[in-house]
């Protein structure tokens, strides 16, 4: 069975970045038996803590997309984050805005594999975990990585987001 085009795009981006899962093993997108639309559902399906889930949240930052990869244990402080990054308005993006800029649906937005680069912030709280899990392009796809790898492969900026 052929993988979903979004999953293929994410795996291709992982391969191109020579992404590793925390060991010498290349990162591989894995399909869960069911879709996981929340960090808690993903954590339960993987048998990990919710803090190990890298939630992919897309915001409309003064009209430009901003991807915030935050620990599933956190909520983003939008007012504080807007002030820190110098934008006037920072609001959760609509599903249409998310798909336009990432090519992926809410609940499955991966940190990479988008049609064009998206400014990305990576929650420094994720650094506390040896292994973290990120979405793989659709709501039932995930891949393991580390904080350092996530920053490297996304070109993301480490940030306090909570």
**In this structure, what CATH number is given to the domain that contains residue 100?**
3.90.960.10
**Per mean pLDDT, which range of 21-30, 54-63, 80-89 is the poorest?**
21-30
Q: Write out pLDDT tens, residues 93-120.
A: 999 999 999 999 999 999 999 999 999 9
Beta bridge partners of 73: none
Residue 24 has pLDDT above 90, yes or no: no
Of 153, 119, 141, the C-alpha closest to 26 is: 153
3-state secondary structure string, 53-98?
Answer: EEEEEEEEECCEEEEEEEECCCCCCHHHHHHHHCCCCEEECCHHHH
Domain limits for position 139 = 5-159
What percentage of the chain exceeds 70 in pLDDT? 99
Residue 1 has pLDDT above 70, yes or no: no
Residue 145 to residue 28: CA distance in whole angstroms: 9
Residue 79 has pLDDT above 90, yes or no: yes
For the chain, the domain total comes to 1
Q: Write out pLDDT tens, residues 133-160.
A: 999 999 999 999 999 999 999 999 999 9
Provide the pairing of β-strand 157-159 with 119-123: parallel
Residue 12 has pLDDT above 90, yes or no: yes
Q: Residue 94 in contact with residue 130, Cβ under 8 Å? A: no
Map tokens 């934008």 to a residue: 87
Give the model's pLDDT for residue 126.
Answer: 98
* DSSP reduced 3-state for 143: strand
Give the model's pLDDT for residue 115.
Answer: 95
The token pair that represents 144 in the structure block: 């393991």
Give the model's pLDDT for residue 133.
Answer: 97
């Amino acid at each position: 069975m052929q993988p979903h085009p979004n999953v293929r795009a994410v795996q291709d981006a992982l391969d191109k970045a020579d992404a590793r899962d925390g060991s010498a093993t290349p990162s591989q997108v894995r399909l869960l038996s069911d879709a996981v639309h929340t960090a808690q559902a993903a954590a339960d399906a993987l048998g990990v803590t919710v803090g190990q889930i890298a939630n992919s949240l897309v915001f409309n930052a003064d009209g430009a997309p901003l991807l915030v990869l935050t620990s599933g244990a956190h909520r983003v402080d939008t007012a504080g984050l807007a002030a820190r990054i110098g934008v006037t308005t920072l609001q959760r993006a609509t599903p249409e805005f998310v798909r336009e800029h990432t090519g992926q649906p809410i609940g499955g937005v991966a940190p990479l594999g988008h049609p064009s680069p998206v400014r990305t912030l990576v929650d420094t709280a994720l650094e506390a975990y040896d292994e973290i899990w990120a979405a793989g392009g659709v709501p039932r796809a995930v891949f393991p990585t580390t904080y350092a790898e996530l920053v490297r492969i996304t070109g993301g900026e480490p940030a306090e987001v909570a």
